[in-house]
Amino acid sequence: MRDRVQSRLVTPLAQQESTRFSRGRPAPRERRVRVTDVAALVDGKGRSFLRFAVDVRFGSGDWREGDIDGCMYPESGAIYVKRGSEYRPAEFLLGKDLPAVTGVCEPSGAKS
Amino acid sequence: MPLVLRRLPARVFLAVMLAGSALITWYSLPYFDFGTLPPFVIEKLPVRFERLWLFSLRVHVAAAALSFPLCLLLLTRFLQRRPVLHRWLGRVAGVVVLFGLVPAGAVLAFDAKGGAVVAIGFLLSAAIVVSGMVYGIVTARRRDLVSHRRAMHHVVAQMSVAVVSRAMLVGFDFAGVDPDLAYVLALWVPVPLSALVVELRQPSFPRFFHELTLTIQRIRREISSSPRLARRPLVRLVARPGR
């Protein structure tokens, strides 16, 4: 799973980042993917998923944990990332204006 | 000193700022691609009033792309020697700054990265721009060109923060400085420094500084000539108020 998040989210993110003359945050020097669930969880529609976090590091500083929080559905390969209290498809971070998806990445029975 | 050398710093400043303004405009073009989200927008979302924020961002960027180079050109002797053209372009710049750049920037300031410290920094810069522009218009109408020049220099100095701040951010990134700290420094160093530089460059500043020095010397003389004050330590004066 870590490899899929790496290849479908982290690598494309790093590829589209460059030094910009803007007030935007600079590109992190390093990113790492952590799978935060030991076992797969099941959402309200009975689909299993695993949550992950992407940590970042700027310069030689400490790792900043949970720069991106999200989840992945191993069966479909769909990746969602958390923005505020909502989850959007991972392509949102790559520049696609995609709306939030309800009911994903939330274990069944959990209150959002 | 030859005239060319005396004018060199101002010319270098104009050239660097025009180049910086063009660079900012170039990197801001993705904000007007309505089909994709640029990294700065992705980083900021979600915000409280998303449509208002996005609209303000586009207005602010467009107003800055127009008004900053225009204000820089208005500082050139070429335009200052053509008063009618200078006046009309000045009116355009004034309207764009007061009714586009600053209100949109103020909306963005409330959702700025870095919280209240950064928001206050942006609002301080906006306040200097507004007061400078309004005072500049009033003094231009009074034909008080010395005060007009000083006021407009403050406006351009605060606009130049956009370029200086981004250059500092790039430098801090290369140096590996924490981006949150870099963001605060890249705002709070150039904003007051730009205002200070404008004041230091005023022809009246050496006279003001000379008068200030004379006043301080006079106060010191008064204190040292008073035996009662000279004998009594300052700490006791402060520690026993009213005696």
The pLDDT assigned to A3 comes to 86
Asked if A97 and B166 come within 8 Å (Cβ–Cβ), the reply is no
Q: What is the pLDDT of residues A23-70, one digit of tens each?
A: 888 889 999 999 999 899 999 999 999 999 999 998 877 899 999 999
Q: Using pLDDT thresholds of 50, 70 and 90, give the confidence band for residue A10.
A: very high
> Is B31 in contact with B38 (CB distance < 8 Å)?
yes
Instruction: Please check whether residue A83 touches B, CB under 8 A.
Output: yes
pTM of the model: 0.83
Asked if A61 and B176 come within 8 Å (Cβ–Cβ), the reply is yes
- Preceding omega of B69 cis (within 30 degrees of 0): no
B158 vs B193: CA distance, rounded Å? 10
Give phi and psi for A48, each to the nearest 5: -90, 145
Query: CA of B240 to nearest chain A CA: how many angstroms apart?
Result: 50
Asked if B28 and A22 come within 8 Å (Cβ–Cβ), the reply is yes
- Using a CB-CB cut-off of 8 Å, the residues of chain A touching B45 are 83-84
| CB nearest A26 (choices: B46, B113, B179) | B179
Instruction: Please check whether residue B51 touches A, CB under 8 A.
Output: no
Alpha helices for chain B (secondary structure H): 3-28, 39-44, 50-74, 77-80, 83-96, 102-109, 115-141, 145-175, 179-188, 190-200, 205-225, 227-231, 234-239
Up-side HSE of residue A39: CA atoms within 13 Å toward CB? 1
The percentage of chain A sitting over the pLDDT mark of 90, rounded to a whole number, equals 62
Asked if B166 and A86 come within 8 Å (Cβ–Cβ), the reply is no
| CB nearest A21 (choices: B46, B166, B183) | B166
Query: CA of B67 to nearest chain A CA: how many angstroms apart?
Result: 18
Instruction: Please check whether residue A95 touches B, CB under 8 A.
Output: yes
Average pLDDT over all residues of chain A = 89
Q: Is the pLDDT of residue A18 over 80?
A: no
Instruction: Kindly state the average pLDDT of the residues A76-101.
Output: 92
pLDDT along chain B (243 residues), means of 10: 82 96 94 87 86 95 97 96 96 98 97 93 97 96 95 97 96 91 96 95 74 83 72 55 51
| CB nearest B46 (choices: A19, A20, A84) | A84
Joined together, the tokens standing for residue A45 give: 């529609």
Query: CA of B117 to nearest chain A CA: how many angstroms apart?
Result: 16
Q: Is the pLDDT of residue A111 over 80?
A: no
